Amino acid sequence: MKVQTVIPAAGMGERLGMSRPKALVEINGTTLIRHTLQGLSSFFTELPAIVVFPETFYEEFNRACRDMNVLLVAGGAERQESVRNALTSLEADAEIVILHDAARPFVSPDTVRAGIEACREWGASTLAVPVSDTILMVNEDGFLTDTPDRRQLWACQTPQIFLKELLLSAHVRALSEGKQFTDDASLIRYYGGKVKIVPGHGDNFKITTPEDLNYAAYKMQKECP
């Protein structure tokens, strides 16, 4: 089955405190989007990876993705809209879609392969890791309201991998019903799809804060000095 990779990278990274898109931030001299594409490069040799960029930054993204098999598509205000824009540009013969956030540069090809296998079997899969902290539910006044059983809690990661037709039809329904989700596995589950959890790795963390960025630079320097 032919696989096509989609990388939503149209977020502005407010929590990083930057005035530029997060995916353009440089880590040890290379943009975040390029690091992430390099980690996934074996999955877009056949069909181009679709990178979703914030509309006014075409030149910068074009430079960051130079010499790579990449198609640039303008994103939207919310992640879901950015993904939807990418879905309209999928190749006709793509059968499986790998969705991976630009903000996770440490993705391992082995876990992506495990995700593809689970998608072939179940129709949808997401990487996730069991939480190690106890998670608290807190109300608006700052008081503890519940402590969910930790054994059932996993932190969501990407890649999330889907049969193309399943993902397309769920997005069409979400748009027509005005429903918003922060990830696509939750969207698929909401409309009745089965999503297989594939154990990921803590290394595949999402760069969100300046501390994450410092740690990513340290880790890359240590791994590829």
Which parts of this chain interact with ligand C5P (CB under 6 A)?
A: 8-11, 22-23, 52, 75-79, 82, 101-103, 206, 208
189, containing H or E segment? helix 184-190
Q: How far apart are CA 115 and CA 99, in angstroms?
A: 11
Q: Which is nearer to ligand C5P, 59 or 146 (CB)?
A: 59
Q: How far apart are CA 86 and CA 79, in angstroms?
A: 11
If we measure between CA atoms, which residue out of 196, 212, 192, 3 comes closest to residue 106? 212
Position closest to ligand C5P via CB: 11
Q: Which is nearer to ligand C5P, 82 or 125 (CB)?
A: 82
Q: Which is nearer to ligand C5P, 3 or 16 (CB)?
A: 16
State the nearest-atom distance from the C-beta of 121 to ligand C5P, in Å: 26
Q: Which is nearer to ligand C5P, 120 or 206 (CB)?
A: 206
Q: How far apart are CA 74 and CA 9, in angstroms?
A: 10
State the nearest-atom distance from the C-beta of 167 to ligand C5P, in Å: 15
Residue 158, SS3 per DSSP: strand
State the nearest-atom distance from the C-beta of 104 to ligand C5P, in Å: 8
State the nearest-atom distance from the C-beta of 149 to ligand C5P, in Å: 25
Q: How far apart are CA 24 and CA 31, in angstroms?
A: 5
